Amino acid sequence: MASRRAGEQFILDGRVSVNGNVVRLLGTKINPLHDSVSVDGKIIRAKKKIYLALNKPVRCVCSHKDELNRPTIYELLPKEWQMVSSVGRLDFNSEGLIFLTNDGQFALHLTHPRYGVRKKYVATVEGKVEPEMLAKFTHGIFDGGEKLRAEKAFLISASKSQSVVELELSEGKNREVRRLFESQNITVKKLQRTQIGKIKLGELKLGKWRTLTETEIKTLLSET
């Protein structure tokens, strides 16, 4: 109906009624199960909260609209769920687990650094990665005025031609995984996010989505 600030002005202007009575006091509490709230005489109903997990493919963006007319993740969702927003982002050439919701508090909890919800990525890179490089990642690297750091870094496999590395991050700065490898002159060939908090990508197929369960939502909100 309105932003918080605009909603407060609606109240001060006398446009809001609770059970037929005009309310002008900011912070007035209601019970949405029993009380009727109206704005300009129109009854307002709470939106149903939606929580989705999507296995994002490469070569699509996490924006509702793209200035280059590239495919978006919203084209993978039913039309009636276009009002959701992605919780964080995965870049154009990355794939894997991403959440979408219309619950702002849920999104804030998963993206704000103070909560430190961890995310796991598997990166396939060119060349052989040595343990010393992973130690640098967990110690921290400065790039573009920011400190980039992985909480954990694990070498899954390594050969002369390519290596596969699992990284666990708590902040998720813009392109953080790619920038960590770029700082060591290593090219990332494939990047997949496999886990957010305790929720794993699992068997969710590329380009497909599912709703999060009540238990999964509570688990994510309890993580700090």
The stretch 49-54 carries a mean pLDDT of 96
Write out pLDDT tens, residues 164-177.
Answer: 999 999 988 899 99
- Is the domain of 109 the same as that of 207? yes
Does 20 score more than 80 pLDDT? yes
Which pTM does this prediction carry? 0.83
Domain range enclosing 191: 119-196
Active site residues: 91
Report the number of distinct structural domains present in the chain: 3
pLDDT of residue 215: 96
Whether residue 224 is predicted with pLDDT greater than 80 in this model: the reply is: no
Tens of pLDDT, residues 67-110: 999 999 999 999 988 889 999 999 999 999 999 999 999 999 99
For residue 174, with 0-12 CB atoms within 10 Å meaning exposed, 13-18 middle and 19 or more buried, which class applies?
exposed
Residue type at 208 in one-letter notation:
K
* Together in a domain, 108 and 208: yes
Q: What percent of the chain has pLDDT over 90?
A: 87
φ, ψ dihedrals at 4, nearest 5°: -60, -45
Residue 61 has pLDDT above 80, yes or no: yes
191 lies in the same domain as 127: yes
17: CATH: 3.10.290.10
Is residue 78 located within the same domain as residue 181?
Answer: no
20 touches 37 (CB < 8 A):
no
Residue 211: its H or E element? strand 209-211
Is 148 in the same domain as 192?
yes
46: pLDDT confidence band, cut at 50, 70 and 90?
confident
Do 92 and 137 share a domain, yes or no? no
